[in-house]
Structure 1
Amino acid sequence: VESILDKENFTLEELLDEEEIIQECKALNKLVLLDAHYVLNSLMFSLRDRAQVEQLLRYIVEEPSEDDDSKRTFKFPFIACEIFTCEIDVILKTLIEDEEFMNLLFSFLEPNRSHSALLAGYFSKTHQEVLRQLVDLIGITSIMEVLVRLVGADDHVYPNFLDVMQWLADSNLLEMIVDKLNPSCPPEVHGNAAETLCAITRNAPSALATKLSSPSFVARIFGHALEDSHSKYGLVHSLSVCISLLDPKRSAIASPLMHYFRNQHMYEPPIPVNPETINAMLPKLGDLLMLLNVSSDEKILPTTYGELRPPLGKHRLKIVEFIAVLLRTGNEAAEKELVGSGTIQRVLDLFFEYPYNNALHHHVESIILSCLESKNDAILDHLLHKCDLIGRFLQTEKQPILSGDNNLPTLPAAGKHAPRAGNIGHITRISNKLVQLGSSNSCIQAYLQ
C-alpha cells in the first residue's frame, strides 16, 4: 500500500487490488493520531476523496458488464463493501453528507434494475453501516435532516418510494432511532430522534409508519418516556412522538397555539387511529398521569404578575397536550381510563391553578370540548357533575381577581393590586359552546337548567 501511495498518479483499482488494503483500513479506524503514521494518513485522505467514494459506491450498486474481468465483478465490490463497513468516520461522513451519494446508494432498490444476490448482500451490509452511523450522529441537526429525507418525509426523493420504505422497515433503523429516546442520551439527541420519528408518522401510510405504530414500538416509546421521571426532556420528546402517532398533522405545526388559530372556527372530527396503537398506550397511562402532581417541587419562578410555586413545566404541559389528542380519538377505553383515574378533574384543576398559561388553557379547552361532544354519557356526566365544570366557571366569574391563597401555585406580587385571571376568554368560549350544545343535547340542557 505504501509503494502505491508514493506514486505520483495511482488509481483506486490499484489500491483495491492490494492484498493488505482491508487490514490497513481496519487500522485506520483504530488509529488515534493519524499524523503519527504516514501510510495510514495518506490512505485516509485518498479514500475520502469525493471521486473515490463515488467509485466505491458504484462497485456496490452497479452490476458489472459482461466484458468486465473477475476483479471488477467479484474482488472490487467485496473490497469496497469491506471499506465502508470498517467504520472509517471520514469516509462515512463524505457519504452521508452528500445527497447525490445517498441517492446513488438507494438507486440499487429501483425496481427496473437487475439485482444479483452478490451485490444485494454487499448493499445490505453497507447500508446497515451507513444507517448505524447516521443514527449515532443524530444529535447533529444536519445529519438528522439527512435521516428525515431518508425516511421519506419527501416522497419525491425516491421514484420507488414504497420499495425503499419497505426495505427500511425490514432493517433495524426504527429500533436504533427509538433507542435514542433513552433517558441516558442528551437533550439534542432526544429532540432530533423525536423529529425523525414524527416525520415518519407524517408520511403514513408507509411500511415504516405502520411498524412505528405497532403495539411493541408504542410500548417501547412509552417505556422510554417513563424510564426516568427526572429526565423531563426524554419525557417531552417521547410524548411528542406518541402525539404524532395519534395526530400526524399536528407535529407539522411547531407551536401548539397555532392549532388554536387553525381550528378556532373549524369543526375537528375524531381522529381515526388504529385501536391497537391506543391500547398499547393505556397500560402506562396511570404512571404518566401521576406526573401531573408535583407537590414536592419547590421551584419558584418570578413573573410580571407575581410568582409561580412551582411553574407548570414543559413536561406537565406536554402530558395535558397528549391527553387532549388522546381524547380526540374518541376511544372509549381511553375515556374510561381518564375518568377512572381522576385525570379530567386534575386537568381542570390545573386550568384554574395556572390562570395565565395560555397554551395550557388551549389544551384544556380541547379536552372539555371532547368530553362535551363524546358519545359516552359517562364522561359527560363526570365533567358536569363530578368535576362541577359550570360551578367552577361561575365561581371564577364572581371572583375574577387572582387569589392570594398560599396553597395555590400562582401568587400575586406582594404590595401590588392582584390582576384579573387570564383564562376568562377560554371560559367564555367554552360557556358559549355549552349553550350551543344544550340546544341538541338533553343531558347538557337539563344540567344548565
Structure 2
Amino acid sequence: MSDVAVCAVRVVCLHDFVDADSCPGLALSVRQMTGSMFWKFDLHTSSHLEALLEKEDVTLTELMEEEDVLQECKAQNRRLLLFLSQDHCMQELLHLITTEPPAGVDEMKRFKYPNIACELLTCDVGVINDKLGNEETMLETLYSFLEQPSPLNPLLASFFSKTIGNLITRKTEQVISFLRGKEGFLSLVLKHIDTSAMMDLLLRLISCVEPAPLRQETLNWLNEEKLAQRLIELIHPERDEERQSNASQTLCDIIRLSRDQANQLQEISEPDPLLAALESQECVGQLLQNMFSGERTESCIVNGIQVLLTLLEIRRPVVDGVMDAQGFERSYAVNSSILLAIQPQLIHFHQLLLEPPKRSPMLTTLGVLEEPLGNTRLHVARLVASLLYTSSASHAVVAQELCRLNTMDLLLDLFFKYTWNNFLHLQVELCVALSEPQTPEPTVTPENSAHNTLVTHLFQHCQLVQRILGAWEENDKIQLEGGMRRGYMGHLTRIANTVVHNMEKGPVHTQISRLIAELPEECRGCWETFVDQTLSETNRKNTIDLVHIEGPFPKELTLQQAFSDYQIQQMTANFVDQFGFNDEDIGKIYTRLILFLLKCSIWCMQANTAVFEACSKEKIQPFDDDEEDIWEEKEINYATQTKSRNR
C-alpha cells in the first residue's frame, strides 16, 4: 500500500472516531478532508500492480518493473507475498542474486533485476524469511554462490552477503545449523576473502547470533575450524595484497567486536575462544613469523602491524555514544603473552627502520625525495609508541630491549631527517612523552623500572636536550636567512614542554632534574636560557585565542590575529612531503583560503545574531492589558475556524 493510501486510511479511521455531537467543528473538517483526498487521489481505482496480480500469466519480471513493488512488499501486500513466496518465484529471485547477468547489456540495467531481487529477499517480511530459512533447497541455491570459482563478482557477492546476513539475524538456528553441516564452508569463505563482502559474512556470524548460548556455540565452532589461525596464514608475502588487507581488517574487527561484547555482555561466563586464540603467544608468534619470512614486503608488514596495534589497544574512544559503566572510554587489559611474543622480534622492527622495503624517489615541490619515509617505517613508529603506552611494571623487558637496540635514537634521527612529515613527528613525540610518564607509578623496584631506564637512555644516550637546542638554533638560523620554518618545530615545542613539565612536577621529576644537572655546564646554561626565554615566548604566542570581533567586520584581518604560530604551522606542514604542496604561491593561496573561511564564519555568526534579534523584536510583542482576554469563554464559530484552516 502506498504512503498516500496509508495516510487516507488513517484519516478515514479518524473520521469514524470523531464524535460529531461533542466536536462538531472537528468532525466537519475531517469530513471535508477525507472527501477531498479520495477525490484527489482516486483511491477507489486499483493500482497497476493489483491489475498485474489479477493476470493468470503474470511473470516475476513484470512485477519487478513496477516502481512500487518493493514498497508493497514491505507493506505486506497479501496477494503480492503469496505470489513471491511460490517456489518458482523464490528460486528465480535467488538465481538473480547468485548468477552473473548476461554480458553485453548496458551496465546501468545489467544489475537492475539482481538489485531488486536482493531488496525483496531482505525486506524483512516473515513470509519470505520463513520460506528462505526453513527450506533447505532454498539455502542450497543460495549457498551455491560460494562454490563458484574466484574471483566473485563484487556486486553479486554483496547481494549474497546481505541476504544470508539477514537470515543469520532472523532465522538464526536454521541457518547456523545448515552452515555447520557444510564441511567446506569456512574454506570457501576464506577462498573468496579478497571480496570484502566475505568479511561482512564472517563478522555477522560473530556479532549477530542470538541468544547467548547459541552465540557461544557458534564461536566454539569457528574456533574449532581454526578461523583465527587461517586468517593469520593469509597475511603472508606470497599472498596478493587485497587478500592480505582483508584478512588483516577481519582480524582487527574480530578483536574489537569480541572485546566490546565481553564488556557489554557481563552474563557470559565462558571466555571468547576466538579472542583467546588471537591473544595467544602462539598466534602472535605465527603472525610475526609470516611478516619476516622471505621477502619483506610493505603490504605484509603494514597489515601485520595493524593487527598488532589492535591487540595492543588498551583504551578505545567512545563510538556512537556507547561508554563503559563509569561513563568513560572503554578500556581493555593487554595479555602479557602478546608482549612476550613481540619482544624477541623487536630487532626485526628496528632493522626495518634502517632498511625498509625499497621505494621509488618521490618528486615534491622542495625537490626529489630520494628515500621517502614510507608506510612501513611510519607503522613501525606507531608500534613502538603503542608498546611504550602498554608497557607496565610487568613488561619492563620490552622497554629494556628498545633501549638495548637504541630504537629511540634512530626514531629521533628520522624525526629531524624528514623535516616535513608530521605523521612521523607525531609518533616520535608520543614515544618521548610516553618515555616520561605524566601519571604516578607504584614504588620503583627492579621489576617496574622500565620508565626509569627509558628516561636515562633518552637523556644520556639519545642526548634529547642537545638535540632540541641544536634543532632550534638551526631553525632560527634558516629563518633569519629567509628560509622556511622547519616542519617539525610545532612537535619539537611540545617535546620541550613535556621535558619541562616532567622536570617540575612529573613522577620522575627527581630523575630528570638530576640528569639535566649532569649535563655539561655550557649546555645546562643554554637549556635554562632556552626554557626561561625562547620556550616561554613561544608558548605565549601559541596560546593566542581566536580574536573576538565586535561591530563591523574589519577590512583586513591577518592570519596571526586569528591563529597562533603553532596552529598555522600545523595547518600547513602536513601538505609537504605527503602531497607536494609547499611553494610560496601555494602557501599564499592556502593562507588566503583560511582567512576567507574565517571571515565567512564570523560574518555568518554576526548575521545570524542580527537576524535572530530582528525577528525576536518583530514577533515577540509585550502583553497589553487593554486587549481582549484570549482565555475568556465565548461562543465558538466553527465555520470561521474551518475557513481559516483551509486558507
TM-score range, shorter chain: 0.5 to 0.7
Partner of 2:562: none
Shift of 1:157: 5.2
Identity between Structure 1 and Structure 2 (%)? 24
Alignment counterpart, residue 133 of structure 1, candidates 182, 185, 188: 188
C-alpha distance in 1, partners of 2:500/2:200?
Answer: 48
Match in the other structure for 2:493:
428
**In 1: Cα distance, 2:477 partner to 2:169 partner:** 59
For residue 311 of structure 2, the aligned residue among 245, 252, 259 is 245
Q: Output the CA distance in 1 between the equivalents of 2:425 and 2:145.
A: 52
TM-score in terms of structure 2 length: 0.48
Q: Find the residue that maps to 2:372 and give its secondary structure.
A: coil
Give the one of 339, 360, 363 matched to 1:302. 363
CA, structure 1 residues 85+432, in 2 after alignment: closer, same or farther (shift >3 Å)?
closer
Distance 1:400 1:12 in 2: 77
Matched, 1:107 2:182: no
- In structure 1, distance between residues paired with 2:495 and 2:370: 27
Q: Distance in 1 between matches of 2:399 and 2:251?
A: 26
- Code of the residue aligned with 2:301 in structure 1: it is L
2:279 matches 1:279: no
**Match of 1:400, SS?**
helix
Match runs of 1:7-46 below 5 Å: none
SS of match in other structure, 1:307:
strand
1:357 equivalent in alignment to 2:413: no
Between the two structures, name the one with larger relative contact order (CA 8 Å, sep ≥ 6): 1
The residue number in structure 2 matching 1:394 is: 469
CA–CA separation in structure 2 for the residues paired with 1:325 and 1:208: 23
Select which of 199, 205, 214 maps to 1:144.
199
Counterpart-to-counterpart distance in 2, 1:268 and 1:425: 28
Equivalent residue for 2:538? none
Residue matched to 1:87:
147
- The CA distance in 2 between the partners of 1:247 and 1:328, in whole Å, is 9
SS in 1 for 2:181: helix
Q: Which amino acid aligns with 1:429?
A: R
Secondary structure of the residue aligned to 2:373 is: coil
Whether 1:439 aligns to 2:504 is: yes
1:248/1:102 CA distance change after superposition, 3 Å: farther
Instruction: Supply the RMSD in Å over aligned alpha carbons.
Output: 4.3
Match of 2:134 among 42, 58, 62: 58
The corresponding residue for 1:159 is 211
Q: Which of these two proteins has the greater Rg computed from alpha carbons? A: 2
Q: Which amino acid aligns with 2:501?
A: Q
Quick one: distance in 1 between partners of 2:245 and 2:477?
Answer: 36
Q: Which runs of 5+ in 2 are unaligned?
A: 1-85, 89-101, 103-117, 122-126, 263-271, 320-327, 442-448, 518-647
Distance verdict in 2 for CA 1:333–1:287, change over 3 Å: same
**1:346 aligned residue (410, 416, 421):** 410
**What code does the residue aligned with 1:124 have?**
R
SS of 1:139's partner is: coil
2:484 maps to 419
Deviation at residue 270 of structure 1 after TM alignment: 10
Where 1:434 maps in the other structure, the secondary structure is helix
Distance 1:85 1:423, change over 3 A: closer
1:384 to 436, 439, 459: 459
Q: Using the alignment, how far apart are the partners of 2:431 and 2:400 within structure 1?
A: 14
Structure 2 residue identity aligned to 1:129: G
Pairing 1:113-262 to 2, within 5 Å after superposition: 123-126=179-182, 128-152=183-207, 158-160=210-212, 161-203=215-257, 204=259, 205=262, 206-247=272-313
Which position in structure 1 is the counterpart of 2:107?
Answer: none
Residue identity in the other structure for 1:437: N
Partner of 1:314: 375
Residue type matched to 1:306 in 2?
G
Cα distance in 2 for residues equivalent to 1:286 and 1:131: 36
Shift of 1:302: 2.0
Q: Which amino acid aligns with 1:427?
A: L
Measure, in 2, the Cα distance between the counterparts of 1:402 and 1:310: 26
Q: How far has the Cα of 1:105 moved from its partner?
A: 6.6
Contact 2:361/2:368 (CA < 8 Å) preserved in 1? yes
Residues of 1 paired with 2:147 and 2:316: CA distance?
38
| CA displacement at 1:344 relative to structure 2 | 1.3
Question: What is the aligned partner in structure 1 of residue 40 from structure 2?
Answer: none
**Structure 1 pair 232/272, CA: closer, same or farther in 2 (3 Å)?**
same
TM-score by length of 1: 0.68
CA gap of 1:355–1:200, structure 2 versus 1, over 3 A, is: same
Deviation at residue 317 of structure 1 after TM alignment: 0.5
> Of 397, 412, 419, which residue of structure 2 is paired with 1:333?
397
1:302 alignment partner, SS class: strand
- How many residues of Structure 1 are paired with residues of Structure 2 in the alignment? 360
SS at 2:368's partner residue?
strand
Partners of 2:425 and 2:491 within 8 A in 1:
yes
Deviation by residue 1:43-66 (Cα, 9 ceiling, x = unmatched): xxxxx9979998686356xxxxxx
Q: Offset at 1:100?
A: 2.2
**Secondary structure of 2:237's aligned partner:** coil
Instruction: State the Cα distance separating 1:171 from its structure 2 match.
Output: 2.2
CA contact (8 A) 2:388 2:434 kept: yes
In the alignment, is the contact (CA less than 8 A) between 2:429 and 2:495 conserved in 1? yes
SS at match of 1:184: coil
